[in-house]
Amino acid sequence: MPLTATIRTRDGWAVSHAVVTLTDGTGAQVLRAGADADGAVRDATALTPGAYTVIVTAVGYAPAAASALVTASGRAEVGTVTLARQGGTELPPPGPWTVDPAHSSVAAVAQHLGISSVRGRFTDFTARVEVAPDDITKSRVEAVIRAASIDTGNGTRDTHLRSADFLDVEHHPEITYRSTGLTGAGSDRWTVHGELSMRGIVRPVDLDLAYLGTGADPWGGTRAAFRATAELRREDFAMHYNQVVRAGIAAIGTTLRVELDVQAVEGESLPAL
């Protein structure tokens, strides 16, 4: 092939929707070719020997330029061109990702007596992420949490949290979250817009999301790591119970800080470990 090139992200993933344009010394376009599923560009167009400019574009990525020299044989091997996300942000490869609950945590922190914090976590949950191929803002996330799985390390407290004063798990056994949009918030940060349903009440909740990277796991899969936080007001979900101690201080704070540490495995399901 007269022209060959490979288009990758900074993490080494193929950019399958990249387009390569070749221009001559006058700026005239002499070739335009798209990458295949492996991010490879191979075009058989005959080229005149000389110097050319290669411009690589892809939706969601900053354009990149490189020089190419077509030899007397008519061949130009551009090599690997690396594209950076617009704003410098990387995301995992597009497609479905399944959250691994064994290596993830869904935690909440509440202020106690105005001087310290009580931490709890949900031990039973499922979640799925869909990274959109062309427009990252169309990526989606859905999660289902079994409310009765709350664990703060104290059985009496956990029983109270499952009651109608708080989670009311008898009538509302599931807590769900569904995203409605995604916007960039920095070089490696995103804001996930979504709706949280708890106790039968639906409220808009934004997650502050950081993407921590992608890599291979010991079981032959590919994993992506994320960390996210959000702040909830208990009264927004009709959790009005409280006990006032001395000096008018509430025993339990009115807000909850949600902390998510997530590992997601590429694909529709988790591998057998």
Q: What is the pLDDT of residues 35-69, one digit of tens each?
A: 998 889 888 878 888 888 999 998 777 888 888 88
Q: Which domain holds residue 220?
A: 95-266
What is the structure's pLDDT at 246?
47
Residue, of 91 and 175, whose pLDDT is higher: 175
Tokens of 159: 């029983």
Using pLDDT thresholds of 50, 70 and 90, give the confidence band for residue 87.
low
Provide DSSP, 66-107: EEEEE-TTS-EEEEEEEE-BGGG---PPSEEEEE-GGG-EEE
Q: Are 146 and 179 part of one and the same domain? A: yes
Among 86, 110, 126, the domain-final residue is: 86
Q: Which uninterrupted H or E stretch holds 11?
A: none
Tokens of 242: 């409280």
What is the structure's pLDDT at 271?
63
SS3 track for 109-138 = EEEECCCEEEEEEECCEEEEEEECCCCHHH
Tell me the C-alpha distance between 51 and 136, whole Å.
Answer: 35
* Domain presence at residue 17: yes
What is the structure's pLDDT at 86?
64
Q: Which residue has the tokens 């899969």?
A: 221
Residue, of 263 and 234, whose pLDDT is higher: 263
Handedness of CA 206, 132, 39, 227 (dihedral sign): positive
Domain at 252, CATH number = 2.40.128.110
Report pTM. 0.66
The residues near 248 (Cβ < 8 Å, ≥ 6 apart) are none
